[in-house]
């Protein structure tokens, strides 16, 4: 199966939460799932997002049992910033990231890759997260927030994906401003986007569509 790239409109939108849901849901359908967190910043001792993702996969896929959190990442950095900024010594090589993805792909039928930040976050001076999705031809899932102002962020990210000619799905992770989401944001999505979905309500349909591609 083609790997799934989980991205978002920005940081702290719910990429890790979404990836954990995907790991659990696909695994329960009998799919051998693996995970990769190519770059994690804000790491002091161990990459916590990678740790959570790996532990989830290890519950289902024995091929990942012997791995450590650092084994599912290509790079970790202490500074909580965009990879290009966190990588003060400019050590990142895109080939190393690609090799890590290829390596982990051999251990599963479906590899889920969690990005860092949003689509336009720079990995190097000339290479962004969206370039990774494009170059590796990854099926992309864009996670958007439910807070006030999210319509603008969602539209900008959708336009970026379209401009790169990337096949994608998108969903809303309803957790911020959820009391006002149905009045402040949902009417626009209903009017403009047929078939848009919330993470906790439309996941089963997404799984079905993904498996039938």
- Structural domain count of the chain: 1
Is 161:130 a contact under the CB 8 Å cutoff? yes
Comparing CA positions, the residue from 26, 24, 21 lying closest to residue 3 is: 26
* pLDDT for position 213: 82
Full domain range(s) for residue 81: 4-211
Say yes or no to pLDDT of 190 above 90.
yes
Is 23:57 a contact under the CB 8 Å cutoff? yes
Say yes or no to pLDDT of 125 above 90.
yes
* pLDDT for position 48: 97
Residue 138 belongs to domain with CATH number: 3.40.50.300
Task: Please say if 15 is a catalytic residue.
Answer: no
Tell me the two tokens of residue 188: 């626009």
- The pLDDT tens digits for 26-81 are 999 999 999 999 999 999 999 999 999 999 999 999 999 999 999 999 999 999 99
Comparing CA positions, the residue from 46, 48, 38 lying closest to residue 105 is: 38
Catalytic site residue from 37, 68, 70, 93: 37
- The pLDDT tens digits for 127-171 are 999 999 999 999 999 999 999 999 999 999 999 999 999 999 999
């Amino acid at each position: 199966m083609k790997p799934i790239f989980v991205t978002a409109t920005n940081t702290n939108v719910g990429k890790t939460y979404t990836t954990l849901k995907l790991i659990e849901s696909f695994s329960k359908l009998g799919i051998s799932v693996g995970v990769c967190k190519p770059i994690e910043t804000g790491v002091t001792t161990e990459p916590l997002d990678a740790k959570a993702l790996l532990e989830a996969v290890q519950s289902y896929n024995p091929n990942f049992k012997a791995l450590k959190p650092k084994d599912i990442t290509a790079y970790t950095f202490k500074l909580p910033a965009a990879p290009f900024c966190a990588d003060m010594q400019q050590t990142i090589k895109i080939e190393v990231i690609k090799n890590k993805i290829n390596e982990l792909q051999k251990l599963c039928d479906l590899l889920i890759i969690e990005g860092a930040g949003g689509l336009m976050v720079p990995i190097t001076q000339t290479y962004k997260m969206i370039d990774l999705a494009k170059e590796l031809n990854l099926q992309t899932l864009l996670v958007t927030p439910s807070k006030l102002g999210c319509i603008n962020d969602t539209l900008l990210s959708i336009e970026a994906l379209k401009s790169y000619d990337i096949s994608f799905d998108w969903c809303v992770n309803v957790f911020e401003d959820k009391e006002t989401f149905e009045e402040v944001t949902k009417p626009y999505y209903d009017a403009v986007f047929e078939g848009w979905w919330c993470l906790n309500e439309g996941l089963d349909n997404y799984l079905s569509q993904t498996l039938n591609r």
